[in-house]
A and B are shown apart, each in its own frame.
Chain A
Amino acid sequence: MKKVEAIIRKSKFDEVKKALHEIKVNFFSYWDVTGVGNEKQGHVYRGVAYSTTDIQRRYLVIVVSDNYLDKTLNTLMSTARTGDVGDGKIFVSDVTEAIRIRTGETGTPAIS
Protein backbone atom coordinates (compact mmCIF):
# COMPACT_ATOMS: atom_id res chain seq x y z
CA MET A 1 0.00 0.00 0.00
CA LYS A 2 1.07 3.53 -0.76
CA LYS A 3 0.17 6.86 0.72
CA VAL A 4 -0.22 9.62 -1.85
CA GLU A 5 -0.12 13.14 -0.45
CA ALA A 6 -1.03 15.84 -2.92
CA ILE A 7 -1.03 19.59 -2.39
CA ILE A 8 -3.22 21.11 -5.07
CA ARG A 9 -4.96 24.34 -6.02
CA LYS A 10 -8.31 24.75 -4.30
CA SER A 11 -9.78 25.68 -7.65
CA LYS A 12 -8.82 22.25 -9.02
CA PHE A 13 -10.30 20.28 -6.14
CA ASP A 14 -13.71 19.47 -7.61
CA GLU A 15 -12.17 18.30 -10.87
CA VAL A 16 -9.64 16.11 -9.05
CA LYS A 17 -12.28 14.62 -6.77
CA LYS A 18 -14.49 13.72 -9.73
CA ALA A 19 -11.60 12.16 -11.65
CA LEU A 20 -10.54 10.11 -8.60
CA HIS A 21 -14.08 8.81 -8.19
CA GLU A 22 -14.09 7.82 -11.85
CA ILE A 23 -11.06 5.56 -11.33
CA LYS A 24 -12.75 4.14 -8.21
CA VAL A 25 -10.60 5.88 -5.66
CA ASN A 26 -13.52 6.58 -3.38
CA PHE A 27 -11.94 7.33 -0.04
CA PHE A 28 -9.51 10.05 0.87
CA SER A 29 -9.13 12.86 3.38
CA TYR A 30 -8.31 16.49 2.76
CA TRP A 31 -7.86 19.74 4.58
CA ASP A 32 -7.06 23.34 3.74
CA VAL A 33 -3.50 24.42 4.29
CA THR A 34 -1.52 27.65 4.12
CA GLY A 35 2.04 27.49 2.88
CA VAL A 36 4.89 29.41 1.38
CA GLY A 37 6.47 28.75 -1.98
CA ASN A 38 7.80 30.19 -5.21
CA GLU A 39 4.51 31.63 -6.31
CA LYS A 40 4.22 35.39 -5.88
CA GLN A 41 0.71 36.71 -5.61
CA GLY A 42 0.88 40.37 -6.58
CA HIS A 43 -1.28 42.70 -4.52
CA VAL A 44 -1.64 46.47 -4.41
CA TYR A 45 -3.18 48.15 -1.37
CA ARG A 46 -3.62 51.91 -1.29
CA GLY A 47 -0.85 52.43 -3.82
CA VAL A 48 1.65 50.10 -2.17
CA ALA A 49 2.54 46.87 -3.98
CA TYR A 50 3.10 43.82 -1.85
CA SER A 51 3.07 40.08 -2.26
CA THR A 52 1.61 37.85 0.35
CA THR A 53 3.59 34.78 1.41
CA ASP A 54 0.38 33.05 2.38
CA ILE A 55 -0.58 30.59 -0.33
CA GLN A 56 -3.86 28.79 0.18
CA ARG A 57 -3.93 25.17 -1.00
CA ARG A 58 -5.79 21.93 -0.38
CA TYR A 59 -3.93 18.93 1.03
CA LEU A 60 -5.18 15.49 -0.01
CA VAL A 61 -4.14 12.20 1.59
CA ILE A 62 -5.02 9.12 -0.43
CA VAL A 63 -4.04 5.59 0.64
CA VAL A 64 -4.19 3.14 -2.30
CA SER A 65 -3.13 -0.43 -3.01
CA ASP A 66 0.08 -0.76 -5.02
CA ASN A 67 -1.67 -1.57 -8.30
CA TYR A 68 -3.76 1.59 -8.04
CA LEU A 69 -0.75 3.87 -7.55
CA ASP A 70 0.03 4.68 -11.18
CA LYS A 71 -3.59 5.28 -12.06
CA THR A 72 -3.97 7.61 -9.08
CA LEU A 73 -0.82 9.55 -9.90
CA ASN A 74 -1.75 9.87 -13.56
CA THR A 75 -5.17 11.15 -12.63
CA LEU A 76 -3.72 13.74 -10.24
CA MET A 77 -1.15 14.85 -12.81
CA SER A 78 -3.71 15.29 -15.54
CA THR A 79 -6.41 17.02 -13.51
CA ALA A 80 -4.54 19.16 -10.98
CA ARG A 81 -2.19 20.69 -13.54
CA THR A 82 -2.57 24.18 -15.07
CA GLY A 83 1.04 24.63 -16.15
CA ASP A 84 1.54 27.79 -14.08
CA VAL A 85 3.82 28.14 -11.08
CA GLY A 86 1.93 26.97 -8.00
CA ASP A 87 0.29 23.77 -9.24
CA GLY A 88 1.50 21.97 -6.14
CA LYS A 89 3.36 18.75 -5.31
CA ILE A 90 2.77 15.03 -4.82
CA PHE A 91 4.55 12.84 -2.29
CA VAL A 92 4.40 9.04 -2.26
CA SER A 93 5.37 6.87 0.69
CA ASP A 94 4.93 3.29 1.88
CA VAL A 95 2.17 2.37 4.26
CA THR A 96 2.87 -0.65 6.48
CA GLU A 97 -0.62 -1.37 7.69
CA ALA A 98 -4.25 -0.35 7.30
CA ILE A 99 -7.11 -1.40 9.55
CA ARG A 100 -10.83 -0.86 9.07
CA ILE A 101 -12.07 -0.06 12.56
CA ARG A 102 -15.60 -1.43 12.11
CA THR A 103 -14.68 -4.93 10.86
CA GLY A 104 -11.09 -5.33 11.90
CA GLU A 105 -10.05 -6.10 8.30
CA THR A 106 -6.38 -5.39 7.60
CA GLY A 107 -4.28 -4.64 4.52
CA THR A 108 -5.72 -3.91 1.09
CA PRO A 109 -9.30 -5.03 1.96
CA ALA A 110 -9.39 -2.32 4.64
CA ILE A 111 -8.99 0.45 2.05
CA SER A 112 -11.16 -0.84 -0.75
Chain B
Amino acid sequence: MEQSLFTANNVWMMICTALVFFMHLGFSLLEAGLTRQKNTINILFKNLFIICGGLLVYYVIGFGLMYPGEFNGFFGFAGFGIESPENGNLVTYADGGYTYWTDFLFQGMFAATAATIVSGAVAERIKIHAFMLFSIIYLAFVYPIVGSWQWGGGFLSTLGDYFGQEGGFYDFAGSTLVHSVGGWAALMVIVVLGARMGKFDSDGKSKAIPGHNIPIATTGVLILWLGWFGFNGGSVLSADPALTSLVLVTTSMSAAAGGFGAFVVSAIKFKNFDVTMFMNGILGGLVGITAGADLMSPLESIVIGLISGALVVFAVSWIDKLKLDDPVGAVAVHLFCGIWGTMAVGIFGDKAGLQQLLYQFIGVFIIGIFCSVFAYAIVKIIDLTMGVRVGKSEEVEGLDIHEHGMDAYADFGLNDH
Protein backbone atom coordinates (compact mmCIF):
# COMPACT_ATOMS: atom_id res chain seq x y z
CA MET B 1 0.00 0.00 0.00
CA GLU B 2 1.22 3.45 -0.81
CA GLN B 3 2.10 5.82 2.01
CA SER B 4 -0.43 8.37 0.71
CA LEU B 5 -3.28 5.86 0.97
CA PHE B 6 -2.16 4.93 4.49
CA THR B 7 -2.19 8.63 5.39
CA ALA B 8 -5.66 9.12 3.91
CA ASN B 9 -6.97 6.08 5.80
CA ASN B 10 -5.50 7.33 9.05
CA VAL B 11 -6.87 10.84 8.58
CA TRP B 12 -10.36 9.45 8.03
CA MET B 13 -10.05 7.30 11.15
CA MET B 14 -8.94 10.30 13.21
CA ILE B 15 -11.91 12.31 11.92
CA CYS B 16 -14.17 9.43 12.93
CA THR B 17 -12.52 9.36 16.35
CA ALA B 18 -13.34 13.04 16.75
CA LEU B 19 -16.93 12.43 15.61
CA VAL B 20 -17.39 9.66 18.18
CA PHE B 21 -15.97 12.02 20.80
CA PHE B 22 -18.57 14.57 19.68
CA MET B 23 -21.31 12.06 20.47
CA HIS B 24 -20.62 12.69 24.14
CA LEU B 25 -21.88 16.22 23.66
CA GLY B 26 -24.97 14.76 22.02
CA PHE B 27 -25.59 12.41 24.93
CA SER B 28 -25.03 15.21 27.46
CA LEU B 29 -27.54 17.52 25.79
CA LEU B 30 -30.12 14.79 25.21
CA GLU B 31 -30.01 13.61 28.81
CA ALA B 32 -29.99 17.12 30.26
CA GLY B 33 -32.93 18.14 28.09
CA LEU B 34 -35.11 15.14 28.91
CA THR B 35 -34.72 15.47 32.66
CA ARG B 36 -35.67 18.17 35.12
CA GLN B 37 -33.92 21.45 35.66
CA LYS B 38 -32.98 20.61 39.25
CA ASN B 39 -30.77 17.69 38.14
CA THR B 40 -28.94 19.29 35.23
CA ILE B 41 -25.57 19.77 36.92
CA ASN B 42 -25.67 16.14 37.97
CA ILE B 43 -26.32 14.91 34.41
CA LEU B 44 -23.57 17.07 32.96
CA PHE B 45 -21.14 16.02 35.67
CA LYS B 46 -21.82 12.34 34.94
CA ASN B 47 -21.28 12.85 31.23
CA LEU B 48 -17.97 14.63 31.77
CA PHE B 49 -16.96 11.95 34.22
CA ILE B 50 -17.70 9.19 31.69
CA ILE B 51 -15.57 10.62 28.92
CA CYS B 52 -12.65 11.40 31.25
CA GLY B 53 -12.90 8.29 33.42
CA GLY B 54 -13.69 6.12 30.43
CA LEU B 55 -10.59 7.12 28.50
CA LEU B 56 -8.33 6.75 31.55
CA VAL B 57 -9.69 3.32 32.43
CA TYR B 58 -9.44 2.23 28.82
CA TYR B 59 -5.81 3.35 28.85
CA VAL B 60 -4.96 1.53 32.05
CA ILE B 61 -6.71 -1.79 31.47
CA GLY B 62 -9.47 -1.69 28.86
CA PHE B 63 -7.45 -1.71 25.65
CA GLY B 64 -5.26 -4.54 26.93
CA LEU B 65 -8.30 -6.64 27.83
CA MET B 66 -10.21 -5.95 24.62
CA TYR B 67 -7.32 -6.59 22.21
CA PRO B 68 -5.15 -9.20 23.95
CA GLY B 69 -3.62 -10.45 20.71
CA GLU B 70 -3.41 -14.26 20.61
CA PHE B 71 -5.64 -15.63 23.36
CA ASN B 72 -7.96 -18.48 24.33
CA GLY B 73 -11.00 -16.66 22.97
CA PHE B 74 -12.63 -16.02 26.32
CA PHE B 75 -10.23 -14.01 28.44
CA GLY B 76 -6.85 -12.52 27.68
CA PHE B 77 -4.81 -9.55 28.77
CA ALA B 78 -2.07 -7.82 26.84
CA GLY B 79 -0.86 -5.84 29.84
CA PHE B 80 -1.48 -2.50 31.50
CA GLY B 81 -1.24 0.76 29.63
CA ILE B 82 -0.59 1.20 25.94
CA GLU B 83 2.66 0.88 24.07
CA SER B 84 2.98 1.06 20.35
CA PRO B 85 4.37 -2.11 18.78
CA GLU B 86 7.36 -1.74 16.47
CA ASN B 87 5.23 -1.42 13.38
CA GLY B 88 2.50 0.51 15.23
CA ASN B 89 2.79 3.56 13.04
CA LEU B 90 3.70 1.81 9.82
CA VAL B 91 1.59 0.68 6.93
CA THR B 92 1.97 -2.95 8.04
CA TYR B 93 -0.10 -2.32 11.20
CA ALA B 94 -3.79 -3.11 10.68
CA ASP B 95 -3.42 -3.41 6.89
CA GLY B 96 -2.59 0.28 6.65
CA GLY B 97 -6.03 1.34 7.89
CA TYR B 98 -4.80 3.37 10.83
CA THR B 99 -1.95 3.69 13.30
CA TYR B 100 -1.75 2.13 16.74
CA TRP B 101 -2.42 5.50 18.36
CA THR B 102 -5.53 6.09 16.28
CA ASP B 103 -6.62 2.54 17.08
CA PHE B 104 -6.41 3.19 20.82
CA LEU B 105 -8.21 6.52 20.80
CA PHE B 106 -10.98 5.40 18.42
CA GLN B 107 -11.66 2.34 20.59
CA GLY B 108 -11.42 4.42 23.77
CA MET B 109 -14.14 6.78 22.53
CA PHE B 110 -16.34 3.74 21.85
CA ALA B 111 -15.81 2.41 25.36
CA ALA B 112 -16.94 5.67 26.90
CA THR B 113 -20.08 5.60 24.72
CA ALA B 114 -21.21 2.31 26.25
CA ALA B 115 -21.01 3.70 29.77
CA THR B 116 -22.77 6.92 28.95
CA ILE B 117 -25.92 4.97 28.00
CA VAL B 118 -26.38 4.10 31.67
CA SER B 119 -26.18 7.73 32.73
CA GLY B 120 -29.49 8.75 31.15
CA ALA B 121 -31.50 5.78 32.40
CA VAL B 122 -30.49 6.25 36.03
CA ALA B 123 -30.89 10.03 35.96
CA GLU B 124 -32.41 12.09 38.76
CA ARG B 125 -32.03 9.55 41.58
CA ILE B 126 -28.63 7.81 41.65
CA LYS B 127 -25.89 8.79 44.07
CA ILE B 128 -23.02 10.33 42.20
CA HIS B 129 -20.42 8.18 44.00
CA ALA B 130 -22.36 5.02 43.21
CA PHE B 131 -22.63 5.98 39.55
CA MET B 132 -18.92 6.74 39.24
CA LEU B 133 -17.92 3.50 40.91
CA PHE B 134 -20.34 1.42 38.83
CA SER B 135 -19.33 2.88 35.51
CA ILE B 136 -15.61 2.55 36.19
CA ILE B 137 -15.92 -1.13 37.15
CA TYR B 138 -18.23 -1.86 34.22
CA LEU B 139 -15.92 -0.09 31.78
CA ALA B 140 -12.79 -1.67 33.18
CA PHE B 141 -14.02 -5.25 32.90
CA VAL B 142 -17.37 -5.96 31.28
CA TYR B 143 -17.11 -3.81 28.17
CA PRO B 144 -13.58 -4.83 27.14
CA ILE B 145 -14.05 -8.53 27.93
CA VAL B 146 -17.22 -8.68 25.84
CA GLY B 147 -15.43 -6.71 23.14
CA SER B 148 -12.55 -9.19 23.09
CA TRP B 149 -14.96 -12.05 22.33
CA GLN B 150 -15.78 -10.46 18.99
CA TRP B 151 -13.58 -7.56 17.95
CA GLY B 152 -10.54 -8.92 19.80
CA GLY B 153 -10.83 -12.13 17.77
CA GLY B 154 -12.44 -14.21 20.53
CA PHE B 155 -14.86 -17.12 20.44
CA LEU B 156 -17.89 -15.22 19.13
CA SER B 157 -16.06 -14.11 16.01
CA THR B 158 -15.31 -17.75 15.19
CA LEU B 159 -18.60 -19.16 16.44
CA GLY B 160 -18.87 -21.25 13.30
CA ASP B 161 -16.06 -23.50 14.58
CA TYR B 162 -18.44 -25.00 17.12
CA PHE B 163 -20.78 -26.01 14.30
CA GLY B 164 -18.04 -27.09 11.96
CA GLN B 165 -18.85 -24.11 9.75
CA GLU B 166 -17.30 -20.92 8.49
CA GLY B 167 -18.11 -17.52 9.94
CA GLY B 168 -19.42 -16.44 13.29
CA PHE B 169 -21.30 -13.76 15.17
CA TYR B 170 -21.34 -10.44 13.34
CA ASP B 171 -21.57 -6.99 14.86
CA PHE B 172 -20.15 -4.37 12.53
CA ALA B 173 -20.01 -1.33 14.81
CA GLY B 174 -21.59 -2.47 18.03
CA SER B 175 -25.39 -2.79 18.15
CA THR B 176 -24.67 -5.45 20.74
CA LEU B 177 -21.04 -4.92 21.73
CA VAL B 178 -21.55 -1.26 22.57
CA HIS B 179 -25.27 -0.44 22.73
CA SER B 180 -26.68 -3.59 24.26
CA VAL B 181 -23.75 -3.81 26.65
CA GLY B 182 -24.71 -0.35 27.85
CA GLY B 183 -28.42 -1.15 27.62
CA TRP B 184 -28.21 -4.27 29.80
CA ALA B 185 -26.33 -2.32 32.43
CA ALA B 186 -28.92 0.47 32.29
CA LEU B 187 -31.74 -2.07 32.72
CA MET B 188 -30.12 -3.80 35.68
CA VAL B 189 -29.31 -0.56 37.47
CA ILE B 190 -32.85 0.83 37.10
CA VAL B 191 -34.25 -2.46 38.42
CA VAL B 192 -32.20 -2.07 41.60
CA LEU B 193 -32.63 1.68 41.77
CA GLY B 194 -36.44 1.84 41.49
CA ALA B 195 -38.52 4.55 39.87
CA ARG B 196 -38.23 8.26 40.58
CA MET B 197 -40.61 9.61 43.20
CA GLY B 198 -43.80 10.64 41.45
CA LYS B 199 -43.22 8.48 38.37
CA PHE B 200 -45.95 6.03 39.43
CA ASP B 201 -48.93 7.02 41.56
CA SER B 202 -50.31 4.88 44.41
CA ASP B 203 -52.37 2.83 41.91
CA GLY B 204 -49.22 2.11 39.96
CA LYS B 205 -50.29 4.33 37.09
CA SER B 206 -47.49 5.92 35.12
CA LYS B 207 -47.19 9.70 35.37
CA ALA B 208 -45.43 12.06 33.03
CA ILE B 209 -42.31 13.85 34.24
CA PRO B 210 -41.54 16.12 31.29
CA GLY B 211 -38.00 17.03 30.43
CA HIS B 212 -37.07 20.65 31.02
CA ASN B 213 -35.40 21.63 27.77
CA ILE B 214 -36.66 20.03 24.58
CA PRO B 215 -34.63 22.26 22.20
CA ILE B 216 -31.44 21.15 23.96
CA ALA B 217 -32.50 17.50 23.73
CA THR B 218 -33.24 17.89 20.01
CA THR B 219 -29.81 19.43 19.47
CA GLY B 220 -28.34 16.42 21.23
CA VAL B 221 -30.11 13.97 18.93
CA LEU B 222 -28.91 15.70 15.77
CA ILE B 223 -25.37 15.82 17.16
CA LEU B 224 -25.59 12.09 17.87
CA TRP B 225 -26.65 11.46 14.28
CA LEU B 226 -23.62 13.44 13.11
CA GLY B 227 -21.39 11.53 15.53
CA TRP B 228 -22.73 8.25 14.16
CA PHE B 229 -21.05 8.97 10.83
CA GLY B 230 -17.83 8.44 12.77
CA PHE B 231 -19.17 5.59 14.87
CA ASN B 232 -20.26 3.52 11.86
CA GLY B 233 -18.09 5.16 9.22
CA GLY B 234 -14.98 4.57 11.30
CA SER B 235 -15.91 0.97 11.94
CA VAL B 236 -14.95 0.26 8.33
CA LEU B 237 -11.45 0.61 9.84
CA SER B 238 -10.10 2.32 6.74
CA ALA B 239 -11.21 4.99 4.31
CA ASP B 240 -12.35 2.37 1.77
CA PRO B 241 -14.36 4.61 -0.60
CA ALA B 242 -17.16 2.19 -1.48
CA LEU B 243 -17.71 0.83 2.00
CA THR B 244 -17.49 4.08 3.99
CA SER B 245 -19.89 5.87 1.70
CA LEU B 246 -22.34 2.94 1.73
CA VAL B 247 -22.17 2.88 5.52
CA LEU B 248 -22.96 6.59 5.73
CA VAL B 249 -25.96 6.05 3.45
CA THR B 250 -27.35 3.06 5.36
CA THR B 251 -26.76 4.85 8.67
CA SER B 252 -28.65 7.94 7.56
CA MET B 253 -31.47 6.02 5.88
CA SER B 254 -32.05 3.97 8.98
CA ALA B 255 -31.98 7.04 11.23
CA ALA B 256 -34.49 8.82 8.99
CA ALA B 257 -36.76 5.78 8.80
CA GLY B 258 -36.42 5.25 12.54
CA GLY B 259 -37.61 8.77 13.29
CA PHE B 260 -40.45 8.33 10.83
CA GLY B 261 -41.51 4.98 12.26
CA ALA B 262 -41.50 6.28 15.81
CA PHE B 263 -43.49 9.44 15.25
CA VAL B 264 -46.10 7.72 13.09
CA VAL B 265 -46.58 4.84 15.52
CA SER B 266 -46.69 7.15 18.52
CA ALA B 267 -49.16 9.46 16.73
CA ILE B 268 -51.45 6.51 16.04
CA LYS B 269 -51.00 5.00 19.51
CA PHE B 270 -51.11 8.15 21.64
CA LYS B 271 -52.82 10.67 19.34
CA ASN B 272 -50.09 13.27 19.53
CA PHE B 273 -46.95 14.20 17.65
CA ASP B 274 -44.45 13.60 20.42
CA VAL B 275 -41.07 15.09 19.60
CA THR B 276 -39.33 13.03 22.29
CA MET B 277 -40.54 9.83 20.62
CA PHE B 278 -39.32 11.22 17.31
CA MET B 279 -35.90 11.69 18.92
CA ASN B 280 -35.83 8.18 20.38
CA GLY B 281 -36.91 6.79 17.02
CA ILE B 282 -34.00 8.44 15.21
CA LEU B 283 -31.60 7.05 17.80
CA GLY B 284 -33.30 3.65 17.60
CA GLY B 285 -32.76 3.64 13.84
CA LEU B 286 -29.10 4.51 14.34
CA VAL B 287 -28.59 1.77 16.92
CA GLY B 288 -30.51 -0.71 14.77
CA ILE B 289 -28.36 -0.27 11.67
CA THR B 290 -25.08 -0.31 13.59
CA ALA B 291 -24.68 -4.11 13.55
CA GLY B 292 -25.04 -4.42 9.80
CA ALA B 293 -24.37 -0.97 8.37
CA ASP B 294 -21.85 -2.40 5.88
CA LEU B 295 -24.07 -5.31 4.79
CA MET B 296 -27.36 -3.67 3.96
CA SER B 297 -28.77 -2.10 0.85
CA PRO B 298 -30.33 1.32 1.35
CA LEU B 299 -33.79 -0.23 1.13
CA GLU B 300 -32.95 -2.85 3.75
CA SER B 301 -31.57 -0.15 6.03
CA ILE B 302 -34.87 1.74 5.70
CA VAL B 303 -36.80 -1.38 6.72
CA ILE B 304 -34.48 -1.92 9.70
CA GLY B 305 -34.90 1.71 10.69
CA LEU B 306 -38.70 1.69 10.41
CA ILE B 307 -38.94 -1.39 12.61
CA SER B 308 -36.45 0.13 15.09
CA GLY B 309 -38.51 3.31 15.34
CA ALA B 310 -41.77 1.44 15.89
CA LEU B 311 -40.06 -0.86 18.38
CA VAL B 312 -38.86 2.11 20.44
CA VAL B 313 -42.41 3.38 20.96
CA PHE B 314 -43.68 -0.01 22.11
CA ALA B 315 -40.61 -0.57 24.27
CA VAL B 316 -41.06 2.75 26.05
CA SER B 317 -44.64 1.89 27.05
CA TRP B 318 -43.68 -1.67 27.89
CA ILE B 319 -40.91 -0.50 30.24
CA ASP B 320 -43.47 1.85 31.81
CA LYS B 321 -45.85 -1.07 32.34
CA LEU B 322 -43.12 -3.03 34.11
CA LYS B 323 -42.91 -0.13 36.61
CA LEU B 324 -39.38 0.61 35.45
CA ASP B 325 -38.36 4.22 35.12
CA ASP B 326 -36.09 5.24 32.27
CA PRO B 327 -36.33 9.03 31.90
CA VAL B 328 -34.62 9.23 28.51
CA GLY B 329 -35.64 5.91 26.94
CA ALA B 330 -32.09 4.52 26.99
CA VAL B 331 -33.19 0.91 27.45
CA ALA B 332 -35.74 1.14 24.64
CA VAL B 333 -33.23 2.70 22.27
CA HIS B 334 -29.97 0.96 23.08
CA LEU B 335 -31.07 -2.43 24.36
CA PHE B 336 -34.21 -3.18 22.32
CA CYS B 337 -32.95 -1.70 19.07
CA GLY B 338 -29.49 -3.11 19.77
CA ILE B 339 -30.92 -6.62 19.94
CA TRP B 340 -33.16 -6.03 16.92
CA GLY B 341 -30.30 -4.62 14.84
CA THR B 342 -28.06 -7.55 15.72
CA MET B 343 -30.74 -10.10 14.80
CA ALA B 344 -31.45 -8.16 11.60
CA VAL B 345 -28.01 -9.17 10.32
CA GLY B 346 -29.38 -12.71 10.06
CA ILE B 347 -32.56 -11.55 8.30
CA PHE B 348 -31.44 -8.88 5.83
CA GLY B 349 -28.30 -8.09 3.87
CA ASP B 350 -25.29 -10.01 2.61
CA LYS B 351 -25.07 -12.44 5.53
CA ALA B 352 -28.78 -13.24 5.87
CA GLY B 353 -29.53 -16.86 6.59
CA LEU B 354 -30.68 -19.26 9.27
CA GLN B 355 -27.14 -20.17 10.32
CA GLN B 356 -26.21 -16.50 10.72
CA LEU B 357 -29.45 -15.83 12.59
CA LEU B 358 -28.49 -18.57 15.03
CA TYR B 359 -25.00 -17.06 15.50
CA GLN B 360 -26.59 -13.67 16.10
CA PHE B 361 -28.96 -15.13 18.66
CA ILE B 362 -26.17 -16.93 20.49
CA GLY B 363 -24.11 -13.75 20.62
CA VAL B 364 -27.00 -11.64 21.88
CA PHE B 365 -27.93 -14.30 24.44
CA ILE B 366 -24.45 -14.92 25.88
CA ILE B 367 -23.57 -11.24 26.03
CA GLY B 368 -26.97 -10.48 27.56
CA ILE B 369 -26.50 -13.01 30.34
CA PHE B 370 -22.92 -11.96 31.02
CA CYS B 371 -23.68 -8.24 31.12
CA SER B 372 -26.86 -8.57 33.18
CA VAL B 373 -25.33 -10.84 35.79
CA PHE B 374 -22.23 -8.71 36.09
CA ALA B 375 -24.12 -5.41 36.15
CA TYR B 376 -26.66 -6.69 38.66
CA ALA B 377 -23.92 -7.99 40.95
CA ILE B 378 -21.95 -4.73 40.86
CA VAL B 379 -24.94 -2.50 41.51
CA LYS B 380 -26.30 -4.81 44.22
CA ILE B 381 -22.97 -4.81 46.07
CA ILE B 382 -22.76 -1.03 45.80
CA ASP B 383 -26.34 -0.78 47.07
CA LEU B 384 -25.63 -2.99 50.09
CA THR B 385 -22.42 -1.20 51.01
CA MET B 386 -22.59 2.50 50.18
CA GLY B 387 -26.17 2.78 48.92
CA VAL B 388 -27.11 3.55 45.36
CA ARG B 389 -30.06 5.91 45.74
CA VAL B 390 -30.17 9.46 47.07
CA GLY B 391 -32.35 10.40 50.07
CA LYS B 392 -35.93 11.61 49.71
CA SER B 393 -35.26 15.28 50.32
CA GLU B 394 -32.31 15.23 47.91
CA GLU B 395 -34.52 13.76 45.23
CA VAL B 396 -37.32 16.25 45.81
CA GLU B 397 -35.09 19.30 45.98
CA GLY B 398 -32.75 18.13 43.27
CA LEU B 399 -29.38 16.45 43.00
CA ASP B 400 -27.74 19.66 41.84
CA ILE B 401 -28.07 21.44 45.13
CA HIS B 402 -27.50 18.39 47.35
CA GLU B 403 -24.83 16.39 45.54
CA HIS B 404 -23.05 19.33 43.95
CA GLY B 405 -24.11 22.48 45.79
CA MET B 406 -24.70 24.23 42.46
CA ASP B 407 -27.45 25.54 40.22
CA ALA B 408 -27.43 24.88 36.49
CA TYR B 409 -29.26 28.13 35.77
CA ALA B 410 -28.22 30.35 38.66
CA ASP B 411 -29.88 33.48 37.33
CA PHE B 412 -33.14 31.93 36.18
CA GLY B 413 -36.09 30.79 38.21
CA LEU B 414 -37.90 28.41 35.91
CA ASN B 415 -41.18 26.63 36.46
CA ASP B 416 -40.93 23.29 38.19
CA HIS B 417 -43.48 20.86 36.80
Which residues on A are within 8 Å of B, measured CB to CB?
A: 34, 43-50, 52, 54
User: 1/0 per residue B241-273: CB within 8 Å of A?
Assistant: 000000000000000000000000010011110
B277 pairs with A48, CB closer than 8 A: no
Contact of A34 with B415 at beta-carbon distance under 8 Å, contacts A47-B270, A47-B316, A47-B317 already known: yes
A46 pairs with B274, CB closer than 8 A: yes
Chain B's interface size range is: 20 to 34
B208 interface neighbour in A34, A46, A54, Cβ under 8 Å:
A46
Within 8 A of A (CB), among B142-157: none
B207 pairs with A48, CB closer than 8 A: yes
Residues of chain A lying within 8 A (CB to CB) of residue B317: 47
B35 at the interface (CB under 8 A from A): no
| Nearest CB on B from A49, distance (A) | 8
9 A-B pairs in the complex with CB atoms less than 8 angstroms apart = A34-B415, A45-B210, A45-B276, A46-B277, A47-B270, A47-B274, A47-B316, A48-B207, A48-B208
Assembled-state Cα–Cα distance A47/B210 (Å) = 11
Assembled-state Cα–Cα distance A82/B266 (Å) = 32
Find the A residue at minimum CB distance from B317. A47
Find the B residue at minimum CB distance from A43. B208
Which 4 A-B residue pairs are closest in the complex by CB-CB distance? A45-B208, A50-B208, A48-B208, A44-B272
Find the B residue at minimum CB distance from A34. B415
Find the A residue at minimum CB distance from B415. A54
Assembled-state Cα–Cα distance A47/B274 (Å) = 8
Assembled-state Cα–Cα distance A47/B332 (Å) = 14
| Nearest CB on B from A57, distance (A) | 14
Within 8 A of A (CB), among B310-338: 313, 316-317, 320, 329
| Nearest CB on A from B312, distance (A) | 10
Assembled-state Cα–Cα distance A54/B277 (Å) = 24
B207 pairs with A47, CB closer than 8 A: no
A45 pairs with B274, CB closer than 8 A: yes
A44 pairs with B274, CB closer than 8 A: yes
| Nearest CB on B from A46, distance (A) | 6
Residues of chain B lying within 8 A (CB to CB) of residue A52: 417
B206 at the interface (CB under 8 A from A): yes
| Nearest CB on B from A56, distance (A) | 9
B415 pairs with A47, CB closer than 8 A: no
Find the A residue at minimum CB distance from B332. A46
Known: A43-B208, A45-B210, A50-B208. 6 other contacts (CB 8 A): A34-B415, A46-B329, A47-B269, A47-B274, A48-B206, A52-B417
Most chain B beta carbons < 10 A, residue from A34, A45, A50? A45
| Nearest CB on B from A66, distance (A) | 39
Residues of chain A lying within 8 A (CB to CB) of residue B316: 46-47
Assembled-state Cα–Cα distance A46/B275 (Å) = 9
Find the A residue at minimum CB distance from B199. A48
| Nearest CB on B from A58, distance (A) | 16
Assembled-state Cα–Cα distance A9/B278 (Å) = 31
Most chain B beta carbons < 10 A, residue from A45, A46, A49, A54? A46
| Nearest CB on A from B281, distance (A) | 12
Assembled-state Cα–Cα distance A74/B120 (Å) = 54
